[in-house]
């Protein structure tokens, strides 16, 4: 192969010139050029260049390197700063080995702090990475719906129309796709041959979904996979679950995804990679939207679990489009438009969206801030340990500094020495921290449901960067002040007099210790209040009678045998009451917006239910009555509303509301027969919403709510399961408990609480070992003083008091600072909840007591030992 | 002076310089070694060995002979010194001596 002459890469040449000594440069470069030309002929340009670069780097050998100044007599002078660095490290190492106890405290404290930071760094970067894997992530927006007058987005979900027409009506929108979840419960049975499972992540999607998002397909065509009715794209793990090693393409699956519970058949037309964990929604099945029948596919009325996404053309003006969208609903609905639209950037969904009916629970940017702050605080506490201990040790190092200075050491050299010692500590701590991180990440993953690892995506460079960064941060945060302080001694004072570590440096140390205590107190208060709040939520989600609510998902077979099934279940004495319902709290989430009288509209959660539903759920009547089997009109347009509906629909007081006209859906001319206390529909973060119940035929029931006594639960479940299997052959028996479902809604809060308590524990532990080290050091220095006091007649208690008095004064100051700070922070956090625990002074007292106890136990032992020691021992040697 | 021990790769380089007579410079040595042995020494490793050999006094060098393909840069030619020759001969003798000491029986037995 003959190639034209071309030059080898210039930068490699320059690099060679940069490190290679002049003596060798010409010869080596000549050889490289010659080889380059030889290879150009043999292997082509690319390989020649590659080899050239490799060889240039290969020249990085001792013989070729530039030499430093050469003495006239040919003796090659070694670089002095390198020698000194080696010496510094050696001296630093000796110091670490000599004071094993203090070094362990320092290094372990730093390692724990760094490990926390590394784990939190992984966590936070994962939170921040959500949805960024899409190629056009920044151009993807979700159409948010607003039912508020001011147009502030309120719902993530909405009606079917806008997502269908936006692509046609706006040139800015290059692709639009809707994701629809059907079957109010959100779960559907999927079956292939003998395999039958409930699946939660079954969605319908427009064929353009793979144009908007870049979820990779392993098999199937991105553009056409979902263009035909009754086709489905499944994920890799679903392919394995249902088809094993067989090729799933073209195979058929059965599913019951719609409210009507009818069986639908889908042909697998594509296999997608599993959705990465840092996506704001996860699908296992994406069925083609066209599989849905009927003319409602572009309806602008009614909210569904339908999420509309658009991908804008690159560089499109999203502000202008947003303005157009604000009036878009009027174009299709005229004056009846009861909602407005706006764009929400997809990248904001995970951390900054707080809309109703999110497709999956989202996180919050506050949490990211809190975790980052706590991580930093822990590192600060660990660095303070280093600061206090190394300044306390200054008396021991003073002589060394004095001698070095006398022999001509410059201050900057001593500074360098102490900084490199801090770096040595930092390096050891980093190595341990990396070990700790890799050991604890599996636990963290379990706690947070993420898949974090030390090296993400094989990015070793990042890990090296993190490690290098850690060493530098420690050297800077922990080493800077001691280095400045220690290198500042004047030789004559350092050598002659004894530095006691009192005075300004002592003050500095006290300030730092107060700071540590303050952080500890604030963290403890935070942890206690978070756990109290979580307990409150748990209590609120339990029913007052102590009964459990068992929820079953209905299917067509059960609906067909509804009465018989009910009778069979009721045979068990543990079943107190049961009722079918279109929805149950925590499941199914569309808000119905409708006209409740001829001229007034409003929104509420609608529950289409059976006679016994309010009683089964244990709702408390404020006025009026529940549904009655003996009153014929109750089945046709009798409404039971919740307390907040009184306000929402202008019904006056509970008593006044009874008998008022009220209409919805099938019963536009209904009447209100009862008012109940508000009940929870979703997480306790959200405001309670107007809700109402109305009787409906069994075809509309998606759930069966059963109130059972908590005793003998296993037997009751067996009984209900038997009844189920008697009537339902297609869907396996499945149930959930209402209180557990409520708790799952607060999973994020509970997780945050757990993480914060673990971090708090660590922070306190680090602060405690630091204090332990400091106290033992101070006591060692005051050993003579204690000896003299004892000789002069001081008793053990008075010495104990003397030694610990100063620390308790510090705690007092720290409490005065920590209590208001934590009060302020925690009341901000609690603002997000409808139900809040009351701040009890006990919480603050407890936090102070805990810190006091830790201080007492870490200095108490040391003080006691010092107070009990025989004074002769400390006074004998001078 | 550094030790005069002759490493295995150094020995090969030294021998190759001898083979090439007066024409021994970096690339030529490298190509010759590639031709005669299975190994492909990198140019860096080769120069490193050359520099060691020169330090030990086994070879000496002179500069000259710029060509166009080298971008007008000179070559450095190596020749074996008397000390180098002695060491080579000694190494060869030692090897032969040891080789001859192996009893035929076990030698063939090993085959």
Contact B71 A30 (CB under 8 A): yes
Question: What is the spatial distance between Cα A656 and Cα A814, in angstroms, rounded to a whole number?
Answer: 56
Interface test with chain B among A22, A31, A51, by most B beta carbons within 10 Å:
A31
Q: Which residues does A contribute to its contact with B (CB < 8 Å)?
A: 24, 26-35, 37-38, 54-55, 58-64
**Which pLDDT does position A778 carry in this prediction?**
78
Domains in chain B and their CATH numbers? Answer: 8-110 (1.10.10.10)
A216 secondary structure, DSSP code = P
First-to-last C-alpha distance (Å) of chain B = 42
Would you state the pLDDT for residue A3? 45
Instruction: Give the per-residue pLDDT at A460.
Output: 82
SS (H, E, C) A269-283: EEEECCCCCCCCCCC
What pLDDT is attached to residue A355? Answer: 79
Bridge partners (DSSP) of residue A222 are: none
Q: Determine the distance in angstroms separating the CA of A489 from the nearest CA of chain B, rounded to an integer.
A: 46
Confidence of residue A185 (pLDDT cuts 50, 70, 90): low
For the stretch A509-550, pLDDT in tens is 888 888 888 888 888 888 888 888 877 776 766 555 567 888
Angle at B45 between CA B43 and CA B51, to 5 degrees: 100
pLDDT digits (tens, 9 = 90+) for A527-537: 888 888 877 77
| Confidence label for A475 from pLDDT (cuts 50, 70 and 90) | confident
Of A24, A35, A60, nearest to B27 by CB-CB distance is A35
**Which pLDDT score is estimated for A253?**
92
Tens-digit pLDDT profile for residues A133-149: 998 899 999 999 887 77
Interatomic CA distance for residues B25 and B106, integer angstroms: 43
Q: What is the distance between the alpha carbons of residues A795 and A817, in angstroms, rounded to a whole number?
A: 34
pLDDT at B76 exceeding the cut of 50: yes
| Neighbouring residues of A755: CB distance < 8 A, sequence distance ≥ 6 | A371, A447, A448
Would the pLDDT of A430 be above 90?
yes
* Mean pLDDT computed over every residue of chain A: 83
Q: Would you call A454 exposed, middle or buried from its count of C-beta atoms within 10 A (0-12, 13-18, 19+)?
A: middle
* Global ipTM: 0.85
| Range B1-10 average pLDDT | 74
Chain B nearest-CA residue for A26: B73
Structural domain spans, chain A? 10-64, 82-129+363-499, 159-338, 501-542+750-878, 548-745
Contact criterion met (CB < 8 Å) for B73 and A30:
yes
Q: Where are the alpha helices (DSSP H) in A688-746?
A: 713-727, 738-745
- Maximal CA-CA distance, chain A: 119
| pTM, full prediction | 0.69
Say yes or no for a CB contact (<8 Å) between B47 and A64. Answer: yes
Distances from the Cα of A644 to the Cαs of A632, A658, A676, A690, in angstroms?
28, 14, 9, 5
Residue A61 pLDDT class (50, 70, 90 cuts): confident
| Residue A633's pLDDT band (cuts 50, 70, 90) | confident
**Average pLDDT for residues A169-191, to the nearest whole number?**
83
Tell me what the mean pLDDT of segment A340-366 comes to: 84
On the question of pLDDT at B111 being above 50, the answer is no
Contacts of A398 (CB under 8 A, 6+ apart): A486, A489, A494, A495, A499
Q: Compute the nearest-CA separation of A64 from chain B (Å).
A: 8
Give A64's DSSP letter. Answer: G
A155 forms bridges with which residues in the sheet? A145, A356
Instruction: Using an 8 Å CB-CB cutoff, list chain A residues near B47.
Output: 24, 27-28, 31, 59, 61, 63-64
CB A607 within 8 A of CB A581: yes
A64 chain-B contacts, CB cut-off 8 A: 44, 47-48, 51
Q: Which helix (H) or strand (E) holds A767?
A: helix A747-781
- Residues of B within an 8 Å Cβ radius of A: 25-27, 30-31, 42-45, 47-48, 51-52, 63, 66-67, 69-71, 73-76
Res. A801: pLDDT tops 90:
no
* Alpha helices (H) along A71-226: 80-98, 100-128, 161-169, 209-212
Q: What is the pLDDT of residue A852?
A: 87
Average the pLDDT over A419-440 and give the result.
Answer: 92
At A232-250, the pLDDT tens digits run 999 999 999 999 888 999 9
Radius of gyration of chain B (CA): 17
Q: Which of A271-285, A355-369, A776-790 has the highest mean pLDDT?
A: A271-285
What is the number of CB-based contacts under 8 A between chain A and chain B? 71
Structure token pair of residue A84: 């000194």
pLDDT over 60 at A704, yes or no: yes
Tokens of A37: 């030309």
- Examine the pLDDT at A72 and tell me if it is beyond 60: no
Percent with pLDDT over 90 in chain A: 12
């Amino acid at each position: 192969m003959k190639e034209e002459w071309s030059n080898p890469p210039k930068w490699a040449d320059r690099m060679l010139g940069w490190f290679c000594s002049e003596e060798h440069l010409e010869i080596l470069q000549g050889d490289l050029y010659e080889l380059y030309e030889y290879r150009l002929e043999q292997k082509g340009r690319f390989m020649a260049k590659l080899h050239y670069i490799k060889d240039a780097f290969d020249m990085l050998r001792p013989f070729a390197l530039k030499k430093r100044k050469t003495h006239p007599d040919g003796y090659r002078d070694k670089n002095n700063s390198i020698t000194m660095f080696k010496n510094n490290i050696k001296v630093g190492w000796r110091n670490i080995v000599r004071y094993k106890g203090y070094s362990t405290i320092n290094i372990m404290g730093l390692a724990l702090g760094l490990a926390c930071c590394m784990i939190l760094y992984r966590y936070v970067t994962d939170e921040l990475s959500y949805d960024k894997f899409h190629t056009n992530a920044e151009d993807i927006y979700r159409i948010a719906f607003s039912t508020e007058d001011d147009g502030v987005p309120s719902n993530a979900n909405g009606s079917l129309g806008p997502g269908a027409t936006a692509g046609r009506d706006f040139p800015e929108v290059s692709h639009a796709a809707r994701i629809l979840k059907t079957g109010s419960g959100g779960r559907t049975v999927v079956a292939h041959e003998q395999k039958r499972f409930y699946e939660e992540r079954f969605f319908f999607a427009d064929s353009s979904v793979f144009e908007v998002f870049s979820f990779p397909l392993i098999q199937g065509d991105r553009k056409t996979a979902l263009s035909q009715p009754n086709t489905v794209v499944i994920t890799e793990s679903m392919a394995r679950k249902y088809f094993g090693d067989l090729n799933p393409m073209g195979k058929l699956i059965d599913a019951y995804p719609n409210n009507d519970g009818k069986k639908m058949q889908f042909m697998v037309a594509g296999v997608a990679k599993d959705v990465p964990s840092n996506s704001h929604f996860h699908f296992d099945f994406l069925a083609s939207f066209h599989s849905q029948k009927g003319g409602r596919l572009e309806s602008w009325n009614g909210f569904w679990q339908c999420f509309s996404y658009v991908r804008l053309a690159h560089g499109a003006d999203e502000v202008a489009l947003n303005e157009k969208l604000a009036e878009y609903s009027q174009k299709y609905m005229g004056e009846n438009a009861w909602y407005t639209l706006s764009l929400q950037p997809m990248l904001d969904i995970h951390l900054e969206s707080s809309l109703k009916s999110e497709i999956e629970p989202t996180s919050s940017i506050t949490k990211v801030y809190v975790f980052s702050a706590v991580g930093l605080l822990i590192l600060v506490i660990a660095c303070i340990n280093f600061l206090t201990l190394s300044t306390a040790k200054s008396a021991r190092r003073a002589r060394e500094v004095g001698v070095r200075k006398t022999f001509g050491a410059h201050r900057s050299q001593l500074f360098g020495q102490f900084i490199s010692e801090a770096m040595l500590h930092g390096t050891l701590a980093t190595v341990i921290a990396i070990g700790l991180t890799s050991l604890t990440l599996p636990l963290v993953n379990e706690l947070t449901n993420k898949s974090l690892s030390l090296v993400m995506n094989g990015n070793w460079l990042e890990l090296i960067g993190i490690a290098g960064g850690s060493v530098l941060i420690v050297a800077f945060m922990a080493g800077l002040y001691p280095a400045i302080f220690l290198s500042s001694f004047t030789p004559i004072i350092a050598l002659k007099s004894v530095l006691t570590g009192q005075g300004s440096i002592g003050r500095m140390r006290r300030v730092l210790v107060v700071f540590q205590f303050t952080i500890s107190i604030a963290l403890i208060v935070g942890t206690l209040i978070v756990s109290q709040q979580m307990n409150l939520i748990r209590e609120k989600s339990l029913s007052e009678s102590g009964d459990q609510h068992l929820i079953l998902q209905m299917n067509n077979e059960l609906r067909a045998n509804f009465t018989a099934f009910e009778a069979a279940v009721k045979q068990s004495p543990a079943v107190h009451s049961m009722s079918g319902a279109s929805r149950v709290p925590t499941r199914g989430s569309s808000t119905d917006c409708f006209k409740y009288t001829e001229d007034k509209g409003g929104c509420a959660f609608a529950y289409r239910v059976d006679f016994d539903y309010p009683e089964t759920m244990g709702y408390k009547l404020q006025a009026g009555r529940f549904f009655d089997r003996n009153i014929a009109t109750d089945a046709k347009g009798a409404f039971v509303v919740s307390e907040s509906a009184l306000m929402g629909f202008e019904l006056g007081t509970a008593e006044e509301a009874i008998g008022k006209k009220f209409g919805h859906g099938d019963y536009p001319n209904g009447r209100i027969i009862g008012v109940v206390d508000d009940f929870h529909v979703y997480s306790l973060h959200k405001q309670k919403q107007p809700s109402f119940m109305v009787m409906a035929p069994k075809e509309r029931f998606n759930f069966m709510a059963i109130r059972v006594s908590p005793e003998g639960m296993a037997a009751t479940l067996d009984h209900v399961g038997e009844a189920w299997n008697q009537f339902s052959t297609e869907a396996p028996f499945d149930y959930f408990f209402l209180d557990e479902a409520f708790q799952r809604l607060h999973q994020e809060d509970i997780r945050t609480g757990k993480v914060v308590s673990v971090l708090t524990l660590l922070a306190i532990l680090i602060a405690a070992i630091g204090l332990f080290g400091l106290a033992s050091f101070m006591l060692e220095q005051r050993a003579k003083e204690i000896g003299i006091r004892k000789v002069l007649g001081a008793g053990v208690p008075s010495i104990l008091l003397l030694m610990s008095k100063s620390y308790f004064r510090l705690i007092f100051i720290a409490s005065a600072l920590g209590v208001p700070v934590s009060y302020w922070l925690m009341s901000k956090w609690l603002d997000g909840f409808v139900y809040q625990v009351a701040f009890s002074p006990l919480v603050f007292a407890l936090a102070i007591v805990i810190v006091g106890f830790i201080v007492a136990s870490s200095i108490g032992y040391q003080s006691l030992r010092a107070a009990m020691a025989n004074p002769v021992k400390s006074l004998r040697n001078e | 002076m550094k030790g005069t021990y002759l490493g295995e790769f150094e020995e090969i380089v030294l021998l190759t310089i001898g083979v090439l007579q007066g024409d021994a410079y970096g690339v030529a040595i490298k190509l010759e070694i590639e031709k005669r042995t299975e190994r492909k020494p990198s140019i860096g490793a080769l120069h490193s060995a050359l520099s060691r050999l020169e330090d030990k006094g086994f070879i000496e060098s002179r500069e000259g002979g710029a060509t166009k393909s080298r971008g007008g840069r000179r070559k450095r030619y190596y020749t074996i010194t008397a000390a180098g020759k002695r060491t080579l001969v000694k190494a060869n003798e030692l090897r032969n001596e040891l080789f001859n000491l192996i009893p035929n029986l076990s030698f063939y037995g090993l085959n």
